[in-house]
Amino acid sequence: MLFAMSIYWHLPLMLLVISLVYSATRHEQWDEILGEAFRWGIRMFGFMLVVALVLYGASLLWP
């Protein structure tokens, strides 16, 4: 039920589209586009993970 309803399943799609489109506007060769997209994907995922962990920690401290 949680897996079916969670809005977080939409986030990887946003991450994929933003990193791919952004990288494709900065490079012309596909290997460069995909490499840059991968790096941006990792950065954004890491940022979102940190935010999620901070919010989770806050919810434990102040339920």
Partner 1 sequence: MSSAPTAPATATPQEPSLLAAFLSYLIPGLGQIYQGRYGKGILFMVSLLGMFMLGQAMGNWQNVYIQSFEGGPNNPRGPGSVAALVNRWHYGGQFWIGIAAWPALWQHFNFSVPNKDDHPFWHNFQKMPNENDVNQFIVNSDKTPDLGWVYTVVAGMLNILVIYDAYAGPVVIAPSRPAGKEQTVPEQAQTKPEGAG
CB of 17 to partner 1, least distance (A): 5
List CB contacts of 33: < 8 A, sequence separation 6 or more: 20, 23, 24, 26, 27
Nearer to partner 1, 10 or 61 (CB): 10
Helical H runs in the chain? 2-5, 11-24, 30-61
The nearest distance, CB 49 to partner 1, in angstroms, is 17
Residues forming the site for partner 1 (CB under 8 A): 5, 7, 10-11, 13-14, 17-18, 20-22, 24-30, 32-33
